[in-house]
Amino acid sequence: YPLFQRGGPQLRIFRPNFFMLAVRPGVPQPEDTVQFRVSMEMTKVDIRNYLERIYNVPVAAVRTRIQYGANNKRNHRNQRVKKPDYKVAYVQL
Q: Where are the domains of the chain?
A: 20-92
What lies within 8 Å, CB to CB, of 83 at 6+ separation is: 69, 70, 71, 73
Its pTM surpasses 0.85: no
pLDDT-based confidence at residue 1 (cuts at 50, 70, 90) = low
pLDDT digits (tens, 9 = 90+) for 30-42: 999 999 999 999 9
pLDDT at site 91? 97
* Level-2 CATH architecture, domain 20-92: 2-Layer Sandwich (3.30)
State mean pLDDT over 15-26. Answer: 89
Instruction: Please state the φ and ψ torsions of residue 19, each to the nearest 5 degrees.
Output: -130, 150
pLDDT at site 35? 97
